[in-house]
Amino acid sequence: MEYKAALATLAIVISLIGYVPYFRDLLAGRTKPHAFSWGVWTVITGLAFAIQFSENAGAGAWVTGFTGLICFTIFLLALSKGKMSFPLIDWVCLIAALIALALWWFAKLPLASVALLVAADFIAFVPTFRKAYFKPYEDTPITFGLNGFKFVISLFALESLTLTTALYPASLVITNWSFAAMVYLRRRQLRK
C-alpha cells in the first residue's frame, strides 16, 4: 500500500501548488472568496474526512482532511477580505446546506450521509458559481482545476474503494472542473 501513500502525497503536493495562486490572488485582493461557501465547505469536508476515515479509506482520505484545513483557512481569510453582504439566495443556500448537514448527523448511515454531504456541497457551491458567473475575474480557476485533478489522484489512493469512500471525492472532481471551465468561458465571453 506504499504506492497509495505516494499517490496521496502527490495529490496533497498538487493541492499545495494549486492553492499558491489562490492565496496570492486573495492576499492581493484579486480573488474575493465567498465566505458562505468556504465556511460550509469546511464543515462538509471535515465530515467527509471523518466518514472516509471511519470506512478505512486510508491514505486516500488524507487529501480530504488536508482540503478541510485549507477550506478553514480560506474561510477565515474570506471573513476579513471577502464580500460581507449577501443576497437572499446565499442565505437560502446556506440554510439548505445546514439542513443537509443536520440530516447527515441523524442518518447514521455512511452512504446516505455521504450522499447528503455531496448534496450540501453542491448547494454550497451555488453562491460561488453565481458570484463567479457575474465576476469571473474575482476567482482563481487554476486552483479549482488542480483541485479536480488532486481528487482524481485521491480516488486511486483510497485503500477501501467503495461508493461510501469514493462518492465525495468523485463529486469534487465534477464541481471543481465545472467551476474552472465556467470561469474560463465567462472570461472569454466578456473579452469578446
pLDDT digits (tens, 9 = 90+) for 143-178: 999 999 999 999 999 999 999 999 999 999 999 999
Distances (CA, A) of 102 to 25, 53, 121, 146: 34, 20, 13, 30
Closest C-alpha among 119, 185, 118, 108 to residue 151:
118
Mean pLDDT of 77-101: 77
Determine the pLDDT at residue 40: 85
Per the model's pLDDT, the better-predicted residue between 26 and 100 turns out to be 26
Per the model's pLDDT, the better-predicted residue between 189 and 80 turns out to be 189
Mean pLDDT of 1-8: 92
Q: Quick check: 150 and 91 in contact, CB under 8 A? A: no
Beta strands, E only, 106-181? none
Residue 164 buriedness (CB in 10 A; 0-12 / 13-18 / 19+)? buried
Q: For residue 27, how far is the Cα from the chain centroid?
A: 20
Question: Cα angle vertex 155, ends 140, 78, to 5°?
Answer: 30
The total of structural domains in the chain comes to 1
Which domain covers residue 10, as residue numbers?
2-191
Q: What is the pLDDT of residues 129-141, one digit of tens each?
A: 999 999 999 999 9
Determine the pLDDT at residue 84: 66
Determine the pLDDT at residue 82: 59
Mean pLDDT of 182-187: 97
Locate 176 and state its grid cell.
471543481
CA distance linking residue 93 with residue 100, whole number of Å: 11
Q: Quick check: 129 and 182 in contact, CB under 8 A? A: yes
Q: Quick check: 49 and 149 in contact, CB under 8 A? A: no
* % pLDDT > 90, the chain: 62
